[in-house]
């Protein structure tokens, strides 16, 4: 792909690089007006996009059916509007109804599939023997099983972690630390991907590497 020549696209790619450098100025010089400008630009642009998309969604998924005579869509619109009473102290209580509706429906729906997906299947996977196992598969299976049992035992709060429970719960704590460490490590690696994306963009825009 050749280096863009369209002035509109060019202004966009240069704006992205300049804003990236403004944001990274935080790392070198802490919070400065330059960083704050980039931060506010990002937030306002995101908000602007969200407002436009929200309006488009309402148009196609609510206003269109209403215009075709399906008045049931007025109910969610009214519930949504009631949320805007939140800033006004005297009528704030009204906003609790749509909030209660959102929380109630959300919780009910989430619970529906959770038991099978997040409990039954997890237990089954933990106790299912590996198919056509290599030695490493046996190690993984046993390690996962021990980690599952001991980390679960760590959350037994009805008995003191002494006696029979002492070793499993201690081991469970280490297993949880291992899992959290791995999770944190992956989070850092994800951030590195983000950084590599910006580095690549900067190199491309300055013509150091080919545009692709």
Where on the chain is the footprint of other proteins (CB under 8 A)? 27-28, 46, 49-50, 53-54, 56-57, 59-61, 64-65, 105-106, 109-110, 112-114, 116-118, 121-122, 124-125, 179, 182-183, 186-190, 192-200, 203, 208-209, 212
Contact, 172 vs 154, CB < 8 A?
yes
Residue 30: is it exposed, middle or buried by C-beta count within 10 angstroms (0-12/13-18/19+)? exposed
Most distant CA pair in the chain: distance in Å? 74
- Is the CB of 173 or the CB of 204 nearer to other proteins? 204
Helix (H, G, I), strand (E, B) or coil at 77: helix
- Is the CB of 44 or the CB of 59 nearer to other proteins? 59
- Is the CB of 83 or the CB of 165 nearer to other proteins? 83
Other beta carbons less than 10 A from residue 108's beta carbon: 9
Min. distance of Cβ 125 from other proteins in angstroms?
Answer: 5
Distance CA 19, CA 41 (A): 9
Distance CA 113, CA 97 (A): 26
User: Which pair of tokens denotes residue 78?
Assistant: 């009214």
Task: Give residue for tokens 């959102």.
Answer: 102
- Is the CB of 23 or the CB of 165 nearer to other proteins? 23
Min. distance of Cβ 168 from other proteins in angstroms?
Answer: 20
Other beta carbons less than 10 A from residue 106's beta carbon: 10
Min. distance of Cβ 187 from other proteins in angstroms?
Answer: 4
Min. distance of Cβ 176 from other proteins in angstroms?
Answer: 12
Min. distance of Cβ 41 from other proteins in angstroms?
Answer: 14
User: Which pair of tokens denotes residue 34?
Assistant: 């330059």
Distance CA 80, CA 203 (A): 46
Task: Give residue for tokens 């429970």.
Answer: 165
User: Which pair of tokens denotes residue 153?
Assistant: 């035992």
- Is the CB of 36 or the CB of 112 nearer to other proteins? 112
Min. distance of Cβ 206 from other proteins in angstroms?
Answer: 11
- Is the CB of 21 or the CB of 91 nearer to other proteins? 21
């Amino acid at each position: 792909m050749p280096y863009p020549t369209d002035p509109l696209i060019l202004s966009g790619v240069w704006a992205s690089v300049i804003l990236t450098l403004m944001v990274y100025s935080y790392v070198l010089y802490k919070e400065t007006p330059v960083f704050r400008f980039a931060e506010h630009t990002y937030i306002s642009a995101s908000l602007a996009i969200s407002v436009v998309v929200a309006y488009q969604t309402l148009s196609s998924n609510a206003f269109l059916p209403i215009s075709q005579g399906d008045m049931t869509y007025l109910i969610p619109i009214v519930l949504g509007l009631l949320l805007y009473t939140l800033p006004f102290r005297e009528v704030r209580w009204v906003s609790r109804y749509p909030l209660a509706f959102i929380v109630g429906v959300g919780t009910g729906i989430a619970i529906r599939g959770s038991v099978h997906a997040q409990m039954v299947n997890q237990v089954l996977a933990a106790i299912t023997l590996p198919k056509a196992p290599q030695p490493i598969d046996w190690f993984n299976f046993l390690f996962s099983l021990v980690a599952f049992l001991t980390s679960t035992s760590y959350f037994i709060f009805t008995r003191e972690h002494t006696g029979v429970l002492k070793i499993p719960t201690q081991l469970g704590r280490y297993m949880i630390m291992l899992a959290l460490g791995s999770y944190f490590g992956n989070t850092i690696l994800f951030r590195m991907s983000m950084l590599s994306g910006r580095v690549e963009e900067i190199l491309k825009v300055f013509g150091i590497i080919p545009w692709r």
